[in-house]
Amino acid sequence: MPYALITGASGGIGLAIARELASRKHDVLLVARSGDKLSAAVDAIKKDFGVSASYLSLDLELPDAVAKVFAWVNQNGFEVSILINNAGYASWGTVKDVPTEEFLGMMQLNMVTLAGMCKTFMPHLERHKKSYILNIASTAAYQAVPTLTTYAATKAFVLLFTRGLSREMAGTPVSVSCLSPGPTSTGFIDRARLGIIKDRAEKFSMTPEAVAKTAVSGMLAGKMEIIPGFTNWLSSKLAEIVPKGIPEGIARNLYKV
Ligand X SMILES: NC(=O)c1ccc[n+]([C@@H]2O[C@H](COP(=O)([O-])OP(=O)(O)OC[C@H]3O[C@@H](n4cnc5c(N)ncnc54)[C@H](OP(=O)(O)O)[C@@H]3O)[C@@H](O)[C@H]2O)c1
Nearest to 81 by CA among 178, 220, 225: 220
Contacting ligand X (CB under 6 A), which of 187, 195, 222, 249?
187
Taken as a whole, the chain contains a residue count of 257
Q: Quote the Cα angle for 254-92-116, to 5°.
A: 120
Residue 59 or 168 with smaller CB distance to ligand X: 59
List of E strands, 87-235: 131-136, 174-179, 225-226
Is 20 an interacting residue with respect to ligand X (CB under 6 A)?
no
Contacting ligand X (CB under 6 A), which of 117, 136, 145, 239?
136
CB closest to ligand X, residue no? 12
Is 163 an interacting residue with respect to ligand X (CB under 6 A)?
no
How far is it, in rounded angstroms, from Cα 209 to Cα 212?
5
Is 138 an interacting residue with respect to ligand X (CB under 6 A)?
yes
How far is it, in rounded angstroms, from Cα 218 to Cα 222?
6
90 to 129: interface string for ligand X, x by CB under 6 A: -------------------x--------------------
- What's the gap between Cα 213 and its chain centre? 14
- Which residues contribute to the site for ligand X (CB under 6 A)? 8-14, 32-34, 37, 59-61, 86-89, 109, 136, 138, 181, 183-184, 186-188, 191
